[in-house]
Structure 1
Amino acid sequence: MGPAVPLPLSDEWDDDVDSYIDALLSFATTTPLFLNLCGGVHILDFLTSDPDLYTTLLPEDWRRFFDQHELYDILDLLLKEDVAHFPVEEDNHTIKGSSWKNGPPPPPSLVRYIRDIRRLSLKRKVTPPPTRPSSGQASAIPRRVAVGMKSKKLHEVEHFSKYVDSFATNVSQTRDEPVTHIVDFGSGQNYLGRTLAHSYNRHIIAIERRHAYIQGARGMDVHAKMAEKKVNVVKKRMQSNANGPDDDGDDASAQACESCPPQGGEEDKQQNEDDVTVFKVFSELDINQDDLPSIVNTSTHKPKEEENRGPRGAMDYIEHEIKDGYLEPIIQHVVDPTKTEGDSTETHGETSNDARVVVVSLHSCGNLLHHGVRSLVLNPSVVAIAMVGCCYNLMTERLGPATYELPVLRHMHQRLAVGANENDPHGFPMSSMFEQYAYPGGKGITFNITARMMAVQAPYNWSVEESRNFFTRHYYRALLQRIFVDRGTVPRPKLANLDALIGGDNNNDDDEPLIIGTLRKTVYETFPTYAKAAIAKLAKNPVHSEKMTRLNNEITTEDLEKYVADYAYAKKNLSLVWTLMAFSSAVVEAIIVIDRWQFLREHMASGLVRECWIEPVFDYAESPRNLVVIGIKN
């Protein structure tokens, strides 16, 4: 039932998935410039060394070319323009009379790099393209169900709910048995589940770790007329002897996800618990003590006024922190909540209930997506998955620091050598192939947090105004860091020693991070107003208070303006490097997403998984994290 080619590849690969993966991993582990741009440099270090990072990072012929062209022309060359007509061999570079944009043509090495990034990136266009309501046209989702959704969320939910319903129907036909439930991992405000229940009559199990989100979602159910305003509370406690997999991981991913906004973005406001008046059934179910410490189940029943309007789906809200993707006790409890410990007859690979579940996720953060993918192989009741991830920076790492024997880390500050929860069995990479992949000087694919943060950029969606604003913010922050170094507020950065990194010695006690966080937009009108606001904010932190207060008293507006004059040239250079980082990180995202698919592919060899593929499901312009990972069990 899947596409003929399981990955959305550029045409040149001619459906040869294995050759593509070989080329992808080879490029990502043996190309020094890519490794520098994707994890080897940090904007904070841009101006703190002599010569600066721009000079030491980029080839001389690239810099000469960049010097002779406008910034936004170069951005178009990287992101939009067809480069097929440019020569890629050095001896063809000086074709008589050749030019581009009233200046020299791009050097062949730059053209080759652009071509490599594009050919190794995954296609992001949906076929057929998703429809979008024209001006004044109503969405297919009723307004009362779409409450709280902004344009982006409405686009995602409208198209993904349709996709999931069609997918679940096809799974039923392929397996010749009905899909009884759809589990939504990290359901948040349950926009997706509510739409699937209302418009497609699906029975949803919405799993969310934050009680306030569930309360808010139930309030929206009432607004959507999918739940009664009547309250009836019943409590009971039960034990289960379900023997799930051992949980030897921690809850790092779940805690990290607390920093992410709800699925609907900032517009999602939590409903007051006193205002939520739906029929509620709370149950607590202990599973192997440490595995599933608490489950709160809230079933939403359709109100009487809906009963005569045709069939409607149902929703069960489960308050639970997912640690490893093991869901069988939850599924059994939803299917038959009357079971007690003595009633459970689950054995490894078998289950006594008739549930056949599709697990879905709409932008689950970090490792939560990994848990969703693993749910296909951990749970007998789960027959298929459709997972869309995001927030790659919140993933943990299975492997240690990179051990490249290449001139890749020569710019690397110690901060870039530190990973996030390395050696976490639930982290990246998932697949054995990516874990065991051998490259010059090392084994195993790994990306630090800087590379993973860049992978969530969407450079193809940048407008001139948006890019100008964040170029300015990055330039101001890099310039302020230079002031901190010059004034002795922070020590001059020590470049990471390659031997020390390979040996795992990444400590730098002298380098206390300076986290400025969010500032008012108005402070970015000039560098002096930004610098004064940032220093004042840092002075409120007891760790930095003494140094920052002294700097605030010493430095004048004239001093700050002189820095702007002295480093005015650097703004374009920094903007170019940032764009190259974002452009290159499409390869990082491809590797992360394909690793999840490869994990499922490896289970096809054992006969557990029947099919798996990746395809785009949203309009990239509306939602850049638009790749869904699909798996169907035999």
Structure 2
Amino acid sequence: MLSSSDSLTEIQRRIDEVKRFLSITLSIANAHTVEFYTHDVWKRFVAVPPEEVLLAVSFGSDQQGEPELKGKEQSRTTFGFCSDTNRLVDTHELLQAAKAHSLPGLGVCWSRDELLQALRESRSEPGAPPAEKGTKLEPDEFMNSKKSHEVQSMSEVVACLAQRCGVKQVIDVGSGKGYLSSFLSLQYGLRVYGIDSSSTNTHGAQERNRKLKKFSRSYQKHTKALRAQGQATHSPQEEFAEIKPGLTGENDILFGAGGGIVSQEEEVLNVLSEPDPETEELFLSALSMDVIQTTSPRIPPSELSAEERERRKRENLERKALNRTDSASTMFSPLTSYVTAETELRELINELEDAVMVGLHTCGDLAPSTLRMFVAKPELAAVCSVGCCYHLLSEEFDPAGQECSCTVCGFPLSQYLRDRSWFCGRNARMSACLALERVSLGQGIQMESLFYRAVLHVILRDHYSSYKSEKRVGNVYSKAKSFVDYVRRALRRLELDELKLSDSDIQDYLDAYRPRMGEMHAFNMLKVILAPCIEGLILLDRLCYLKEQENLSFSALVQLFDPLLSPRCYAVVGLKSYGNRITS
């Protein structure tokens, strides 16, 4: 039986724990790196040397047990911060507290395997659709590619949700280039509607899906013919090498061993009846290697040769004939639309039936809008949403009086946090996007560019009082050959008089602040440590929102991806309880 392990009361208690921790530490996450030296950020927030912080962070994963007590001082600290000065005095205590207040430390997340097992077990209950036949895929088979890993991991979960709910349609919100949508339609035979606000994305996704279909038909026909002839099939790599030229070349219509293209109906039947890990690996290779190309820029018909016009006319007639022959020929339909919680799906999709709503790395407010839509629309039976870009979230409550200008804000989502008027701040939400696991392995922050920008801010304060802070410097670091060159490029970008300073004047600033670069490095590592806790609060808020609803039988946070490959690795999953789809 599929049941939620944590009650609404338990999730609210976890939210309170994280809120208490962040009420002490959030000021560090909200400190702006640009103002690091002009506002003397290190001395304001930290009372220990930067070397101590860096050493503690470097060996933080090796620390065992409780942090070492420091006599009387220990009783006057909260999460490592002095109760009198609100400055950090115990880095080890902060590290332990941050770990305890992250999602793994709170113990509220399901693993992907736990969710899949629960979904498969619940399918055998009365009223559940029959389980899909096929070989179970190994989750780490495609970890050499971020996108392949995400598509493979999430598509299996979505397919299980669809089967659990007895639905055949999927709505992919913020579908982008259509990788997930194409794979769901081709490998699992689901009818997928991919909605994206960018017409460029939807057009490219449509073309990519068209070529993937040709690849699917060709591969299925080829292997089927070889098996019928009693011949051994090639390895997936050899098969893909034979088919790849058709995908990347000019004439990308692919032919099977018999010289013809199998029908869309045969393709769908083959995919549904004979799921093949080799076929899936080829699809994922095609996606991750980006050999599925988008169309070239459109050429006006008047500039085409007579031969090219005739060829395109023939292809269009063939495509229309195929569409008339098989109504299921478009298993994936990219749609261009800006989606909000108020969007009427039936106005976008005429053939809409009960469906699963999904979103793979939906940016900013789109993730909470997806959850609001799931709750409000009776035709949506389940949701699987992985958000990203927390810095683009709109916030309802702002102590500075700059409340959200949107009709409905993205954070907080739950009534529980809204009743408490909780506010994170843009810098803290930006910090939540940092990847602790990657930084821990040395894939760190580009410190020199941040350092350059902070020292530039000192120069602007000292010599350019007319400088408007809202003007952006932009990415001049990547083009600069030295700090002097960086400053001069930045001054030109800001339309300021660069002749006001000599090269030696600029170099003197660099020499003066270079010894303090360690402070900035250590401070940014503190932000990295806090990142999982801020992300955790945002995701707990979304889970709490689902738990507040009365028509849901199941809701959970699920770690879908390996955080080293995909730092935004958590999905919010929910299922409705009406009808005979879900057992409460």
- Superposition TM-score, scaled by structure 1 size: 0.64
Alignment of 1:254-269 (within 5 A): none
Tell me the equivalent position of 2:186. 198
Tell me the equivalent position of 2:416. 433
CA contact (8 A) 1:397 1:422 kept: no
Tell me the equivalent position of 2:5. 5
2: CA distance, partners of 1:614 / 1:374: 16
2: CA distance, partners of 1:114 / 1:423: 36
1:579 aligned counterpart, secondary structure? helix
Which contiguous aligned blocks of 4+ residues in structure 1 show a shift greater than 6 angstroms? 227-230, 263-269, 275-281
Q: Letter of the 1:364 partner, please give it.
A: T
| 2:310 is equivalent to residue 316 of structure 1 | no
1: CA distance, partners of 2:295 / 2:516: 47
Distance 1:425 1:17, change over 3 A: closer
| 2:350 is equivalent to residue 362 of structure 1 | no
Alignment of 1:114-133 (within 5 A): 114-123=95-104, 126=111, 128=113, 131=138
The partner residue of 1:470 within 446, 454, 466 is: 446
CA contact (8 A) 2:11 2:544 kept: no
Tell me the equivalent position of 1:529. 485
Distance 1:487 1:120, change over 3 A: same
Tell me the equivalent position of 1:44. 34
Tell me the equivalent position of 2:475. 518
Query: Post-superposition shift, 1:579?
Result: 1.3
Query: Post-superposition shift, 1:418?
Result: 7.6
Tell me the equivalent position of 2:168. 180
Alignment of 1:166-177 (within 5 A): 166-170=160-164, 172=165
| 2:227 is equivalent to residue 271 of structure 1 | no
Alignment of 1:201-600 (within 5 A): 201-226=189-214, 271-272=295-296, 274=298, 314-330=331-347, 333-335=350-352, 355-399=353-397, 401-402=398-399, 417=400, 421-422=404-405, 424-437=407-420, 444-462=421-439, 466-467=443-444, 470-490=446-466, 511-519=468-476, 521-523=478-480, 526-538=482-494, 545=495, 548=496, 550=497, 552-600=498-546
Q: Letter of the 2:459 partner, please give it.
A: I
2: CA distance, partners of 1:556 / 1:465: 37
Q: Letter of the 1:613 partner, please give it.
A: A
Alignment of 1:71-220 (within 5 A): 71=54, 73-78=55-60, 80-88=61-69, 90-91=71-72, 109-123=90-104, 126=111, 128=113, 131=138, 139=142, 151-170=145-164, 172=165, 178-220=166-208
Q: Letter of the 1:475 partner, please give it.
A: F
Q: Letter of the 1:359 partner, please give it.
A: M
CA contact (8 A) 2:151 2:183 kept: yes
2:62 aligned counterpart, secondary structure? coil
| Residues 486-505 of structure 1, C-alpha deviations (whole Å, 9 max, x = no match) | 113456xxxxxxxxxxxxxx
Distance 1:3 1:614, change over 3 A: farther
Query: Post-superposition shift, 1:482?
Result: 0.3
Tell me the equivalent position of 2:14. 20
Query: Post-superposition shift, 1:302?
Result: 11
2:541 aligned counterpart, secondary structure? helix
Tell me the equivalent position of 1:101. none
Query: Post-superposition shift, 1:585?
Result: 2.5
1: CA distance, partners of 2:453 / 2:155: 41
1: CA distance, partners of 2:178 / 2:401: 35
Query: Post-superposition shift, 1:512?
Result: 3.5
Query: Post-superposition shift, 1:199?
Result: 0.7
CA contact (8 A) 1:397 1:419 kept: no
Alignment length, in residue pairs?
455
Comparing both chains, which one has the higher relative contact order based on Cα–Cα distances under 8 Å and sequence gaps of 6 or more?
2
2: CA distance, partners of 1:558 / 1:213: 49
CA contact (8 A) 2:195 2:335 kept: yes
Query: Post-superposition shift, 1:159?
Result: 1.1
Query: Post-superposition shift, 1:77?
Result: 3.6
1:384 aligned counterpart, secondary structure? strand
Q: Letter of the 2:374 partner, please give it.
A: L
Aligned-residue identity in percent? 20
2: CA distance, partners of 1:581 / 1:630: 28
CA contact (8 A) 1:358 1:383 kept: yes
Q: Letter of the 1:428 partner, please give it.
A: F
Query: Post-superposition shift, 1:334?
Result: 2.4
CA contact (8 A) 2:110 2:556 kept: no
2: CA distance, partners of 1:25 / 1:160: 30
Identify the structure with the greater helix proportion: 2
Distance 1:373 1:449, change over 3 A: same
Query: Post-superposition shift, 1:395?
Result: 1.1
Tell me the equivalent position of 2:235. none
Q: Letter of the 1:623 partner, please give it.
A: S
2:446 aligned counterpart, secondary structure? helix
Q: Letter of the 1:446 partner, please give it.
A: F
CA contact (8 A) 2:169 2:190 kept: yes
| 2:576 is equivalent to residue 633 of structure 1 | yes
Tell me the equivalent position of 2:558. 615
1:457 aligned counterpart, secondary structure? coil
Distance 1:131 1:312, change over 3 A: farther
Which stretch of structure 1 is more off in the superposition, 472-481 or 208-217? 208-217
Q: Letter of the 1:202 partner, please give it.
A: L
- Superposition TM-score, scaled by structure 2 size: 0.69
| Residues 63-87 of structure 1, C-alpha deviations (whole Å, 9 max, x = no match) | 3xx34x584x343245x33252422
CA contact (8 A) 1:393 1:449 kept: yes
Distance 1:131 1:620, change over 3 A: farther
5+ residue gaps, structure 2: 75-87, 115-136, 218-251, 254-286, 300-310, 578-584
CA contact (8 A) 1:359 1:382 kept: yes
Distance 1:420 1:528, change over 3 A: farther
Distance 1:397 1:111, change over 3 A: same
Q: Letter of the 2:383 partner, please give it.
A: I
Query: Post-superposition shift, 1:132?
Result: 6.1
2: CA distance, partners of 1:478 / 1:314: 51
| Residues 523-555 of structure 1, C-alpha deviations (whole Å, 9 max, x = no match) | 2x53222222222332xxxxxx2xx1x2x1122
Distance 1:482 1:433, change over 3 A: same
CA contact (8 A) 2:555 2:572 kept: yes
Query: Post-superposition shift, 1:420?
Result: 7.5
2:28 aligned counterpart, secondary structure? helix
CA contact (8 A) 1:302 1:314 kept: no
Query: Post-superposition shift, 1:577?
Result: 0.9
Distance 1:470 1:332, change over 3 A: closer
CA contact (8 A) 1:226 1:301 kept: no
